[in-house]
Amino acid sequence: LFSTASVYLIGNPRSGASIYLEKMVEKLELKHVFLVFSTFGLSLAISSFLILKFSQRVFKIIEKIDYKNLTLSLISFLIFIVFVFTDFLGLFILFIGTLIGILNIRFGVNRSFSMGFLILPTILFFLSKY
């Protein structure tokens, strides 16, 4: 909502959707802006009502879910999907990436350093193509 408003008011996009909208700003009239913000307001009102009405029920359902089984199921599914699409090389990369993440936590290293660990080989790979 705010990024869309910034496109119209100050001409500075803050997201991909806003950049797309910026290209259409010349064609927009005030009635279009009013329609968009009315739609935002209506969706906000409906979602607020639904959250207030159903949140307690959803929390009770979530409390019944066994977190350990859910976690193991998701990990198993992720391993299966990685294997199906990338074979053993993908499993190896998944293992190394998981190991890097766990070691960061174990040694108290900021996880953002892992991005540098991953970005440097990527940059070198793409530089080697030129």
Q: pLDDT digit string (tens) for 68-97?
A: 999 999 999 999 999 999 999 999 989 988
Render the burial of 47-65: b for 16+ CB within 10 Å, e for the rest.
eeeeeeeeeeeeeeeeeee
pLDDT tens-place string over residues 5-56: 655 555 555 556 666 666 666 666 778 778 888 998 999 999 999 999 999 9
Mean pLDDT, residues 123-129: 78
| pTM of this structure | 0.50
Helical ranges in 1-130 per DSSP H: 2-10, 16-24, 30-64, 67-107, 112-128
**pLDDT number for residue 25:** 62
